[in-house]
């Protein structure tokens, strides 16, 4: 065999091996039938919280979130994980009223956490939800430093309570945060906190599509004096507050 023939055969074998495998895999994935749903770019999910309706003593949203997403409380302030928490806010002048503000991930349009993530584990989904791919996260915690809202928590240890088995737990060594109950959104439901708030007869939390001008949340934003937390940072947060 001369050199030319040898290279020809070798090249053909290499191409065949690579393409064959790839094609086989592609075919298997393309063959997949059955029900499928997908996040759509036309949606832009956001949340509005009416602080006038939010009761300072009520923790329905926090409890529902912990139950729905298996968010543990270890009773150790430095290890506890918060997806949504209630902070008490008071202005500095005398006789100022104290407000209880639910704080969660703002699902920014220009998220600082996504920019700094070295593994692209943090990302923005097509419908505007900022997510952490826990399969990919290496737990470097850059995102926790970058986030001005302190929305992210590091999983120092695993939880053993598994209240909702449809939602996975997290292994230690990843960063997690509010995902707007993305598994529920994909089923066409509202986030657990919003539902719990409505069930507690407060109805302070409204969830909806910011891209749809006819949605409840868009109308409320258009007709009220709404505020975002630290809008000056330019991250374009998608959680709005009334009466802050």
Residue 124, helix vs strand vs coil: strand
Told to check if 42 binds another protein by CB under 8 A, we report: no
Told to check if 107 binds another protein by CB under 8 A, we report: no
Residue 25, helix vs strand vs coil: helix
* Least distance to another protein, CB of residue 182, Å: 7
Phi-psi region of 180 (alpha: psi -120 to 50; beta: other; left: phi over 0): left
- Contact region for another protein (CB under 8 A) — 46-54, 90-98, 126-134, 189-197? 126-134
- Contact region for another protein (CB under 8 A) — 46-54, 129-137, 202-210, 233-241? 129-137
- Indicate which single residue of 134, 141, 219, 236 sits in contact with another protein (rule: CB under 8 A): 134
Phi-psi region of 223 (alpha: psi -120 to 50; beta: other; left: phi over 0): alpha
Strand-pairing partners, residue 130, are: 124
Q: How far is CA 216 from the centre of its chain?
A: 21
* Least distance to another protein, CB of residue 147, Å: 20
Judged by CB under 8 A, the chain residues 185 through 224 that form the site for another protein are 186
- Closer by beta carbon to another protein, 138 or else 171: 171
- Indicate which single residue of 37, 52, 95, 223 sits in contact with another protein (rule: CB under 8 A): 37
Residue 191, helix vs strand vs coil: coil
Lookup result for tokens 């791919």? 133
- Closer by beta carbon to another protein, 1 or else 29: 29
Name the DSSP letter for residue 190: P
Told to check if 131 binds another protein by CB under 8 A, we report: yes
First to last CA, the chain: 82
Distance CA 87, CA 27 (A): 52
Chain positions contacting another protein, by CB under 8 A: 25, 28-29, 31-39, 123, 125-127, 131, 133-135, 158, 162, 165-166, 168-171, 182, 186
């Amino acid at each position: 065999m001369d050199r030319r023939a040898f290279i020809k055969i070798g090249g053909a074998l290499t191409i065949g091996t690579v393409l064959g495998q790839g094609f086989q895999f592609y075919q298997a994935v393309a063959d997949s039938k059955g029900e499928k749903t997908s996040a759509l770019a036309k949606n832009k999910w956001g949340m509005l919280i009416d602080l006038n309706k939010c009761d300072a003593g009520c923790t329905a949203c926090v409890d529902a979130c912990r139950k729905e997403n298996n968010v543990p409380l270890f009773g150790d302030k430095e290890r506890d994980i918060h997806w949504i928490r209630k902070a008490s806010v008071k202005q500095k002048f005398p006789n100022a009223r104290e407000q209880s503000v639910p704080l969660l991930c703002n699902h920014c349009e220009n998220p600082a956490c996504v920019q700094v993530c070295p593994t692209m584990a943090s990302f923005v989904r097509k419908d505007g939800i900022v997510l952490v791919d826990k399969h990919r996260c290496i737990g470097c915690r850059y995102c926790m430093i970058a986030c001005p809202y302190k929305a992210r928590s590091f999983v120092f240890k695993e939880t053993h309570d598994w209240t909702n088995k449809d939602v996975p737990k997290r292994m230690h060594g990843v960063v997690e945060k509010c995902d707007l109950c993305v598994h529920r959104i994909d089923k066409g439901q509202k986030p657990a906190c919003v539902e719990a708030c409505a069930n507690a007869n407060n109805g302070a939390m409204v969830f909806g599509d910011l891209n749809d001008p006819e949605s409840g949340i868009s109308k409320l934003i258009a007709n009220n004096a709404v505020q975002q937390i630290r809008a000056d940072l330019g991250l374009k947060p998608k959680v709005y507050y009334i009466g802050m």
